[in-house]
Amino acid sequence: MSTLTHNEAPPYTAVLEVKNLSVELMTDNGVFKAVDNVSFSIGRGETVTIIGESGSGKSTTAMALLQLLPRDLAVLSGAVRIKGKDVLSDHQTIKKFRGRGLALIPQDPMTALSPVLSIGSQLREAIKITGKVKGKEAIHAKAMELLGQVRIPLVEEQLKKFPHQLSGGMLQRVLIAIALASEPELLVADEPTSALDVTVQAGILDLMLEIQETRGTAILMITHDIGVARLVSDTIHVMQRGRFVESGDARQVVEEPSEEYTRKLLAAVPRLGDWDESMPVEESHV
Amino acid sequence: MLTYLPKRLGQGLLTVFLTVSVVFLLIRLAPGDPAAAFAGPLATSEELAAVREQFGLDAPIFQQYLIFIGQLFTGNLGTSYSFQAPAMTVVMERLPYTLTLATSSILLAALVAIPLGMWMARRADTGGEVGVNVLTVAGQSMPDFWTGIMLLTAFSVVLPIFPASGFTTWGGLVLPTITVAILQVALISRMVRREMVNNFNSPYLTIARSRGVSERLLTWRYALGNAGIPVFTALGTRFAAMLNGVVVVEVVFGWPGVGSLIVRALETRDYPLIQATVLITALLAVAVQLLIDLAYPLLDPRVRLGKAASV
């Protein structure tokens, strides 16, 4: 396992710092260690990706550091600091960041909004939570501005709509607008494109990178898609069975993987090209 | 909407028509002779024949049925044998009592069951909650005649707070209402609990929490906003069922409603009265069900707006 290059850089201030994070989940079949002694950090304007298969513990890591796992079913240990503040030892601390500098882009936009509340009311609520915009008119104007920023057409009409009336891609834009309302310094994106059509995936990633560029947002990207990882990341951590098996610079991990598991993960990506009958079919239980 | 309403009205009327037709046939197939019940055990066969002729029961069943259909269109269902008054009038006089009892019961049930269910959902699987949950199972298992008699013994006999029978003062409403509501509270509160727990565990709630929505808003605006829809439907359906007369409770408390009326009508084989009661309660049940269906789109935007074309 290679060490992270930025650990040696002295002026580096981490937006997110995770040290020896472990998550034990209480299941019907006993205690299951979903995340095992994981450490990483993300600086301003940086994108760190955790890549792994389903069940590798990557989403659990994200949910754990956001304190979104049910407290009676998940036991967390280690340290998680957001902008230097420990959010693990006191579960009230995270509430100061939620919706104010910290935002989550969920995996499935279709189930991420309340079906009985309009897009507008859920967006306006997120704006109110920041406490920075006051008054009905100003909040409405801000909502329109945010939807414009995520390039949703016919803003005024969309605000009145309900989640079931929008496509997955549009809903993910709405959720990014909601995230944007919090003026995010740390954006946790939990497989933000995996539930979307291939044709809209790139647009969503572009939008996130654009936010990063203009705001200097730190992004934690959770994905199983090596293509996504290569496109957006500065640093990649490869996760298997709750552990980081390989960590390093994005280009290096993708092009010169040092671990057998990473090589298998890379090989599992379907490539467009001539059909090679002689190629052995790799089983996905790498 | 323009085709929906006439279609639903048609379905409702068909339901009512089939219900009254089946009841018409069944009461005539059941043992017991209205003429014998009316004329008494000492009546001679000539007297019985005279009564049958007077009631129109000497005609073939099919002919009686045609006459009955004609009556349905005029709204006059004949003269009650035992009351010697128009059957419809007798039913309509009793209806306000059943409406009062059903309304007060459903309101009490909703006022208790919804907060109770929310409390249980919030503390799901803790010691106190399990205890309350066991109590609701007990509440559901107690037969209403038994609950009624226990309440009567406690609060009318031992502690004479409420009248034991009838509806002469508003106090008379208290014990029957509680008796009817206990079962509903037991059922509805557990439904509220289940729906709330499902919504607490849903992705949209976790994601709303992640963007800083307060726990109070998560409970009321998000979880209850979604859980409320099936609960509203259940309350409406229960209310419709109560309008058919809360038979046992009405008999226990001597409540002058439709439920005790139908018992009397059945005992005396009072065909016109049975048919009038069934017609009115079936119409009411269908009407309430239709109102629930019409209210549904107001609560659920997915029903109101349908699946619109996405942008």
For residues B244-249, average pLDDT: 81
Number of compact structural domains in chain B: 1
Asked whether residue B116 is assigned to any structural domain, the reply reads: yes
State which amino acid sits at residue A108.
D
Asked whether residue B70 is assigned to any structural domain, the reply reads: no
* Contact: A103, B213; criterion CB under 8 Å: no
Q: Is A272 exposed, middle or buried (0-12, 13-18, 19+ CB in 10 A)?
A: exposed
The pLDDT, as a whole number, for residue B156 is 84
Q: How far apart are CA A269 and CA A227, in angstroms?
A: 8
Q: Is B157 exposed, middle or buried (0-12, 13-18, 19+ CB in 10 A)?
A: exposed
Our CA-based measurement puts residue B241 at a distance from the nearest CA of chain A, in whole angstroms, of 28
Token pair for B105: 């019961």
Helix (H) or strand (E) holding B203: helix B203-210
- The total of other beta-carbon atoms located within 10 Å of residue B47's CB is 15
Half-sphere exposure of A259 (CA within 13 A, CB side): 17
Which residue(s) pair with A23 in the sheet?
A35, A76
* pLDDT of residue B34 exceeding 80: yes
Out of B217, B226, B307, whose CB is closest to A116? B226
DSSP string, chain A: -PPPGGGS-TT--EEEEEEEEEEEEEETTEEEEEEEEEEEEEETT-EEEEEE-TTSSHHHHHHHHTT-S-TTTEEEEEEEEETTEE-SS-TTHHHHHBTTTEEEE-S-GGGSS-TTS-HHHHHHHHHHHHTS--SHHHHHHHHHHHHHHTT-SSHHHHHH--GGGS-HHHHHHHHHHHHHHT--SEEEEESTTTTS-HHHHHHHHHHHHHHHHHH--EEEEEES-HHHHHHH-SEEEEEETTEEEEEEEHHHHHHS--SHHHHHHHHTS---S---TTSPPPPS--
Q: Which residue has the tokens 């790139």?
A: A202
The pLDDT, as a whole number, for residue B311 is 38
In which band, very low, low, confident or very high, does the pLDDT at B38 lie, cut at 50, 70 and 90?
Answer: confident
Q: How far apart are the first and last CA of chain A?
A: 18
The pLDDT, as a whole number, for residue A116 is 93
Half-sphere exposure of A79 (CA within 13 A, CB side): 8
* Contact: B211, A158; criterion CB under 8 Å: no
The pLDDT, as a whole number, for residue A1 is 45
The pLDDT, as a whole number, for residue B41 is 79
Phi, then psi, of B296 in degrees rounded to 5: -55, -50
The pLDDT, as a whole number, for residue B75 is 83
CA dihedral A133, A138, A141, A147 (to 10 degrees): 20
* Pair A168, A110: CB distance under 8 Å: yes
Asked whether residue B298 is assigned to any structural domain, the reply reads: no
* Pair B208, B196: CB distance under 8 Å: no
Q: What is the pLDDT of residues B55-68, one digit of tens each?
A: 888 888 899 999 99
The pLDDT, as a whole number, for residue A2 is 46
Q: Is A102 exposed, middle or buried (0-12, 13-18, 19+ CB in 10 A)?
A: buried
ipTM: 0.85
Q: What are the residues whose beta carbons fall under 8 Å from the beta carbon of B211, sequence distance 6 or more?
A: A98, A99, A103, A104, A126, A129, A178, A179, A182
* pLDDT of residue B167 exceeding 80: no
The pLDDT, as a whole number, for residue A136 is 93
Q: Which residue has the tokens 């059957």?
A: B87
Asked whether residue B67 is assigned to any structural domain, the reply reads: no
Q: What are the residues whose beta carbons fall under 8 Å from the beta carbon of B294, sequence distance 6 or more?
A: B5
* Contact: B212, A113; criterion CB under 8 Å: no
Our CA-based measurement puts residue A230 at a distance from the nearest CA of chain B, in whole angstroms, of 27
Q: Which domain holds residue B263?
A: 93-268
Out of A98, A112, A167, whose CB is closest to B203? A112
- Asked if B213 is an interface residue toward chain A (Cβ–Cβ < 8 A), one would say yes
Out of B206, B300, B308, whose CB is closest to A68? B206
CATH number at residue B177: 1.10.3720.10
Q: Which of B199, B202, B204, B209 to mutate to test the interface with A (most CBs of A within 10 A)?
A: B204
Alpha helices, H only, B30-126? 34-39, 45-55, 61-74, 87-122
Asked whether residue B206 is assigned to any structural domain, the reply reads: yes
Return the SS3 of B14: helix
Residue B103 is classified by DSSP as H
What domains sit in chain A, N to C, each tagged with a CATH number?
1-101+223-267 (3.40.50.300)
Asked whether residue B76 is assigned to any structural domain, the reply reads: no
Q: What is the pLDDT of residues A132-160, one digit of tens each?
A: 899 999 999 999 999 999 999 888 899 99
Q: How far apart are CA A134 and CA A127, in angstroms?
A: 9
Q: How far apart are CA A248 and CA B246, in angstroms?
A: 73
The pLDDT, as a whole number, for residue B7 is 87
The pLDDT, as a whole number, for residue A277 is 58
* Angle CA B44–B47–B49, to nearest 5: 110
Q: Which residues of B touch A178 (CB under 8 A)?
A: 211
Return the SS3 of B79: strand
Half-sphere exposure of A157 (CA within 13 A, CB side): 8
* Contact: A178, B211; criterion CB under 8 Å: yes
Return the SS3 of B84: coil
DSSP string, A14-48: EEEEEEEEEEEEEETTEEEEEEEEEEEEEETT-EE
In which band, very low, low, confident or very high, does the pLDDT at B40 lie, cut at 50, 70 and 90?
Answer: confident
Q: How far apart are CA B241 and CA B245, in angstroms?
A: 8
Q: Which of A108, A129, A164, A200 to mutate to test the interface with B (most CBs of B within 10 A)?
A: A164
Which residue(s) pair with A21 in the sheet?
A38
Asked whether residue B227 is assigned to any structural domain, the reply reads: yes
Token pair for B114: 């919804």
Across B85-94, B96-105, B138-147, least confident range: B138-147
Q: What is the pLDDT of residues B216-240, one digit of tens each?
A: 999 999 999 999 999 999 999 999 8
Q: What is the pLDDT of residues B286-306, one digit of tens each?
A: 999 899 888 888 888 888 876
The pLDDT, as a whole number, for residue A82 is 94
Please name the residue of chain A whose CA is at the shortest distance from the CA of residue B211: A99
Token pair for A82: 């957001």
Q: How far apart are CA B72 and CA B287, in angstroms?
A: 17
Please name the residue of chain A whose CA is at the shortest distance from the CA of residue B199: A114
Q: How far apart are CA B249 and CA A16, in angstroms?
A: 65
Which residue(s) pair with A81 in the sheet?
A17, A86
Q: Which of B71, B66, B79 is nearest to B34 (CA)?
A: B79
Show which residues on chain A lie within 8 Å of chain B, measured between beta carbons. Answer: 66, 68, 95, 98-100, 103-104, 106, 108, 111-118, 122, 125-126, 129, 152-154, 158, 161-162, 164-167, 170, 175, 178-179, 182
Our CA-based measurement puts residue B199 at a distance from the nearest CA of chain A, in whole angstroms, of 10
Residue B224 is classified by DSSP as I
- Asked if B150 is an interface residue toward chain A (Cβ–Cβ < 8 A), one would say no
Asked whether residue B42 is assigned to any structural domain, the reply reads: no
Phi, then psi, of A41 in degrees rounded to 5: -145, 160
Which of residues B306 and B90 earns the better pLDDT score?
B90
* Pair B147, B138: CB distance under 8 Å: no
What is the residue-averaged pLDDT of chain B? 88
DSSP string, A82-130: ETTEE-SS-TTHHHHHBTTTEEEE-S-GGGSS-TTS-HHHHHHHHHHHH
Each residue's pLDDT expressed in tens, for chain A with a length of 286 residues:
444 455 444 455 789 999 999 999 998 889 999 999 999 999 999 999 999 988 899 999 999 999 999 888 899 999 999 999 999 988 889 999 999 999 999 999 999 999 999 999 999 999 999 988 999 999 999 999 999 999 998 888 999 999 999 999 999 999 999 999 999 999 999 999 888 888 888 889 999 999 999 999 999 999 998 888 888 999 999 999 999 999 999 888 888 888 888 888 888 776 666 655 565 555 555 4
